[in-house]
Structure formats: C-alpha cells, structure tokens
Amino acid sequence: MTNFFEIDEIKKSVKVLDLDDFSIEDLEDYISELDTEILRVREEIKKKNKLKKKAEEFFK
C-alpha cells in the first residue's frame, strides 16, 4: 500500500494525491490498494465493535 500513500503522522491521515499524474494502470493499481485497505479497515471496525460489546456486557 505504500506505493501511493503519503501519511501525515501528526494528523493520522493520508495526503491527497494529484491523480492527473497517474497512468490508467497506476490508477487501477491505486484502486486495488484502496480496496485492500478498505477491507482491512472494515475488519478492524468489526474487531473494535466486538470488544466494545464485550465491555458493555461486562459493565452492565
């Protein structure tokens, strides 16, 4: 995933890319990497929701 992203560690965000500089193949690769990252983030959300639910059940 690091081929395209520049991370702003202070803001915990990804810097915006100028897509005009990319070829069609680069853009397709970029989409693929974004899809992979979306799946990774969704899994992390699921994991955190499970932990949150367990904590809520514990502190009832």
For residue range 3-57, what is the model confidence (pLDDT) as tens digits? Answer: 677 778 888 787 778 889 899 999 999 999 999 999 999 999 999 999 999 999 9
DSSP of 1-60: -TTT--EETTTTEEPPP-GGGS-HHHHHHHHHHHHHHHHHHHHHHHHHHHHHHHHHHHT-
Residue with tokens 């992203």: 5
Phi and psi angles of residue 39, each rounded to the nearest 5 degrees, phi first: -60, -40
pLDDT of residue 2: 54
